[in-house]
Homo-oligomer: A and B are copies of this chain.
Amino acid sequence: MNALVELKSELRAISDLNAAAMVLEWDQNTYMPAGGATARGRQIALLSRLAHERRAAKRMGELLSELSATADEATVDGALVRRALRDYQRATKVPSELMEKISNHGSTLYAAWTEARSANDFAMVRPLLEQNLELSKRYAEYFEVDHPIDAFIDEHDPGMTAASLKTLFASLRAELVPIVEKLLAKPAPDRSFLDADYPQEKQLAFAAAVSETLGYDFDRGRQDLTHHPFMIRFSSGDVRITTRVDPRDFTDCLFGTIHETGHALYEQNIDRAFDGTPLGAGTSTGVHESQSRLWENLVGRSRPFWEHLYPKLQDTFPDPLKGVSLDDFHRAINAVERGLVRVDSDEVTYNLHVMLRFDLECAMLEGELAIADLPEAWNARMEADLGKRPPTNTLGCLQDVHWYCIPIGGAFQGYTLGNLMSAQFFAAATQALPDLEGQLARGEFAPLREWLTEQVYRHGATYFPDELIQRATGAKLSPKPFLDYLRKKYGPLYGVDFGA
């Protein structure tokens, strides 16, 4: 058999095994009864192990070595070989015994974390978290990197390193902190009308209708309820989103749905010929997050978007929104707050939450910050950045699951990269579509979606993030479009003069 044909057949099997594991995970998070948990964990672990064994198989190495010698990266097959080689190299770097140890320790730590978080007792997880840090360092040792976190960053956001991110985040931070200070000095917008009775069924129907209007294809997807919303892809024809509903606050369900719709629009619009290959997926965590944040914030929290949608929202929830003007509504959904919780934070302060985590995990991996000192380091930084000290560790260093279920490092930077990229893509789209604001105000989302499909979505993982951004926006990634966007939006909204 031709080596390329054999490679594609093997990649398809790996993709199908991963997809099967994901169906089991989706079910686990939506419909599975409690009694199914033990066996389900075992079933998912088996599928993941079988996929890993194929990804790291000797024959895979031989095929890739043969094919990459002659591959032309400018072709689709060349890009495919490049991605597959990268996956193979990552899969074979770390001994499977260590991988298994990390995975098992992650399950133990996760269970301890859920208890420690609700008991507000960091001591309950401290020894297990120390072990996780040790395992993370051992993992990183198998990579030839300048900084241990680079081993993890490369997995999620290829092309980025601790060094490049520290530079990028420093320049973002230098301009973001004064913006936050100026906005927080102003009176907070009235959000009282958001705390009212918003019936679950109406929320779900409204959110699904918005998702469909933005372009989510329900014939190739569906929406279900879960605790921690996510998007998940089983194939190009089956890309699902999930949501949750707070009956006293419709924004959780609505903006959460738009966020997951952004992820799903990316996956649903990847070239279907890439299905079953490593190209049939978003290219990085950061680029993926750029699409969820673009649709959630740059579109979904914009004034033009609500010009179109607000009357429909008022029709759906007449009681709580009676007499609330569009301007007041728009201010309320863009309130900037001194919040303690990342996932509830607004788009301005969000990046401070992310950079805090990134800096702390760098320090932990460098050996500069001991686990025992993590709670205080977290609280001190929150106080410095946002002027508010978490009253409990539950609202501090116990709030996010990441460090407590997977190795420490690399899982946070993508959120801020996504914010920066979202503004840079949106600025480029605005250049290409001069009437974009008008289109959004008329509920016409196809032009933006099609531009993004052409520039970003359809390529899947053909290009690495830096290549994709350069092609789509004509420039390297920069914090400038995001900072410009914040100033332009929040200046008028808060009556702040950010200068020229």
A residues touching B (Cβ–Cβ < 8 Å)?
A: 12-13, 16-17, 19-21, 23-24, 26-27, 31-40, 42-43, 46-47, 50, 217-222, 224, 234-238, 240, 275-276
Interchain CB contact (< 8 A) of A222 among B26, B31, B37: B31
Residue contact A33 to B275, C-beta cutoff 8 Å? no
Closest to A42 in B: B16
Q: Which residues of B contact A31 (CB under 8 A)?
A: 222, 224
Provide the main secondary structure of the chain A interface: helix
> A238 contacts B16, CB within 8 Å?
no
Find A23's partner among B27, B217, B236 (CB 8 Å cutoff). B27
Could you tell me if B237 and A37 are in contact, using CB atoms closer than 8 angstroms? yes
Q: Can you report 19 A-B residue pairs in the complex whose CB atoms are below 8 A from each other?
A: A12-B42, A16-B46, A17-B46, A19-B43, A27-B27, A33-B221, A33-B222, A33-B237, A33-B238, A34-B219, A34-B237, A35-B219, A35-B220, A35-B238, A36-B238, A37-B237, A39-B234, A39-B236, A39-B275
A274 to chain B, nearest CB (A): 12
Instruction: Report B-chain residues with C-beta under 8 Å of the C-beta of A275.
Output: 39
- With A and B bound together, what is the CA distance between A223 and B27 in angstroms? 14
Tell me which residues across on chain B come within 8 A of A36, comparing CB atoms: 220, 234-235, 237-238
Q: How long is the Cα–Cα vector from A218 to B34 in the complex, in angstroms?
A: 9
Tell me if B20 and A43 are in contact (CB < 8 A).
yes
- A47 to B21 alpha-carbon distance, docked (Å): 11
Nearest CB of B to A29, in Å:
13
A175 to chain B, nearest CB (A): 44
Q: Top 7 closest A-B pairs, CB basis?
A: A36-B238, A35-B237, A39-B235, A35-B220, A16-B43, A16-B46, A36-B237
Extra inter-chain contacts (4) besides given A13-B46, A33-B220, CB under 8 Å: A19-B39, A33-B222, A35-B220, A43-B234
Question: Which residues of chain B are within 8 angstroms of A23 by Cβ–Cβ distance?
Answer: 23-24, 27, 43
Name the distance in Å between A105's Cβ and chain B's nearest Cβ: 22
Give min CB distance, A194 to chain B, whole Å: 30
Q: Which residue of B lies closest to A49 (CB)?
A: B13
With a cutoff of 8 Å between Cβ atoms, the chain B residues found around residue A235 in the complex are 35-36, 38-40, 43
A308 to chain B, nearest CB (A): 27
Q: Within 8 Å CB of A217, what residues of B? A: 35
- How many Å lie between the Cα of A42 and that of B218 in the bound state? 21
| Beta-carbon contact of A238 and B43 below 8 Å | no
CA gap between A222 and B33 in the complex, in Å: 7
A28 to chain B, nearest CB (A): 9
A224 to B224, CA, bound (A): 14
Chain B, residue nearest A235 (CB): B39
Q: Is the CB of A238 within 8 A of B19?
A: no
